[in-house]
Amino acid sequence: MAPHFNLCLMAGISIVNRQLFLGIGVQKCATTWLYDILCDHPELAVSKQKEVDFFSYHFGRGYQWYEDQFPLTSERHLMGEISPSYFIDLMVPERLCAYAPAAKIIVSLRDPVERAISNHRHEVRLGNFHGEDLSFDAGIENNPLYIEQSRYGTHLQRWLSYIPKSRLLILFQEDIDRDPIAVATDVYRFLEIDHRHRSRAVELRSNESHLYKFHAFERVRKATREAARFLGADGAWRFAQQAGLQRLYRRLNRLPPGARIPSVSPETRSRLRQQLEGEIRLVEEITGKLLPKWRTEESG
């Protein structure tokens, strides 16, 4: 038994044993796709917005606030949410154990160097990193979490000191890109729900890399999407996407990353792969899966 298992079981004695699943990240590793394929499953009560961040940023708001983030239904006994902030937060596993000691955990990974590069593009897109030098090297100097979030092995080991491996499902974005239906089926089987369900979102790509021409327009788009989810009008949102409004918006307000962000040099990529070599080996040991493409310059 891992060192924190007894703590988890003891902490859960006075708490109702809720049936809960969490997607804990990693950021920029298909977590939006995961949220979307779970939202329309009839056996799940998924949070109204994707990133609740309760066990990391909002724990002080209490359990009642947390449960208010889920749709009210007596028919769906399994509730869950996707918050990438949970993966690296040191406090989350213990807090989760106290609330739902039998919770199931889903984590999605991708090439750690490409994840860090995508992380950088994301921060530039949001306007969190700006200035004349938008290079990845400058971004690493500005934001240590680019690398910290790619230390998969270290964080997986910590999670596995709190929960048994049988309650942790590890996904790879490369598998999602290759066969999303098969991965979605694996997710449903892991959660012990109808694995024959075919989500409307299963073959859609979420959060493709881009920059915004006008950040205000993107804030309006995101607010509208969240409002549609909150009001139970997600179907109408998807209909609008399929009707061509999504393509029109992208033409009007999106730019490719290369329009402003310089390409990453082979030297930087090689240096990071060497830096993260030990983390890659830990992931291979934990999953039993060899990941040679994560060590090559062609993986991105």
Q: Which of 3-7, 30-34, 275-279 has the lowest mean pLDDT?
A: 3-7
Residue pLDDT, tens place only, 83-131: 999 999 999 999 999 999 999 999 999 999 999 999 999 999 888 999 9
Convert the pLDDT of each residue in 198-248 to its tens digit: 999 998 865 555 555 555 665 666 677 777 666 777 667 666 666 666 666
Rounded to whole angstroms, the Cα distance separating 106 from 44 reads 15
Q: What percent of the chain clears pLDDT 90, i.e. is strictly above it?
A: 67
Set out the domains of the chain in order of their start, with CATH numbers.
Answer: 5-210+256-295 (3.40.50.300)
> Between residues 230 and 133, which one has the greater pLDDT?
133
What pLDDT is stored for residue 260 in this prediction? Answer: 74
Residues forming beta bridges with residue 254, ordered by sequence position? 212
Averaged pLDDT for residues 72-82: 80
Dihedral, CA atoms, 71, 72, 74, 75, nearest 10 degrees? -30
- For residue 296, the model assigns a pLDDT of 81
The DSSP annotation for 90-143 comes to TTHHHHHHHH-TT-EEEEEE--HHHHHHHHHHHHHHHTSS-SS---HHHHHHH-
Would you place residue 183 in the very low, low, confident or very high pLDDT band (cuts 50, 70, 90)?
A: very high
12 falls in which pLDDT band (50, 70, 90)? very low
* Cis amide prior to 107 (ω within 30 degrees): no
| pTM score, whole prediction | 0.80
pLDDT at 15 over 50: no
The reported pLDDT for the residue numbered 147 is 97
Beta bridge partners of 171: 108
Q: Quick one: average pLDDT of 12-37? A: 81
221-235, 256-270, 282-296: which has the highest mean pLDDT? 282-296
The pLDDT score that the predictor gives to residue 211 is 54
